[in-house]
Chains A and B, each alone.
Chain A
Amino acid sequence: AQTVTQSQPEMSVQEAETVTLSCTYDTSESDYYLFWYKQPPSRQMILVIRQEAYKQQNATENRFSVNFQKAAKSFSLKISDSQLGDAAMYFCAYRNLEELVFGQGTRLTINP
């Protein structure tokens, strides 16, 4: 069974600085997708960024980028120029075929 581990329950960063959230996963599959979701207090899960395992190039979306290390099964999220609106729970997720498998989440606090 696939598992996703986020080892940082909480992280904080000063506004405008950069923060990296860690994620590792375990799978025997070679073709899969990895995601970072943001969940603000409203509970709505919002897709932040997606990475296809067959692509070697790391995905980027504006201030958000990932460091995907397939051999190490590592998938970290870097948030540059942190903004107050980035404060939320962040979940790393894996998807092979159907359902998403989520990590335990990291609560990100932005200090003004």
Chain B
Amino acid sequence: GAGVSQSPRYKVAKRGQDVALRCDPISGHVSLFWYQQALGQGPEFLTYFQNEAQLDKSGLPSDRFFAERPEGSVSTLKIQRTQQEDSAVYLCASSLVLNSVYEQYFGPGTRLTVT
């Protein structure tokens, strides 16, 4: 079956622009996670959803970052007024349910470059 997909794969934004990154999880997966991966670093947790409910957003670095999953499927990560420090790969992952025993399946990521 289809895996997790993300779009766009690459995004270049000028500082101050707003961007929206999309994640399509595996069909039927209840849990969805967003991670930020700076160059040369491991991914860092941003936020996660169980269905449409955002249960933890403690990893969002500022109030310029906003995530939603209105129908419990597709999710969008929005960054307002982008800054150079927002340049990173944004990874989305989905899991069948919110339980440690279930694997998180990752998408290919969106590489955001802010100029």
Contacts and interface: CB of A to CB of B under 8 A. Distances in A.
Contact of B103 (A32, A50, A97): A50
Q: How large is the interface on B (under 10, 10 to 19, 20 to 34, 35 or more residues)?
A: 20 to 34
A61 interface: no
Contacts of B44: 102
B56 A98 contact: yes
B70 interface: no
B42 A32 contact: no
Nearest to B44: A102
Interface stretch (B12-20, B77-85, B104-112): B104-112
Given A33-B101, A45-B91, A99 B42 contact: no
A56 interface: no
A3 B21 CA distance: 28
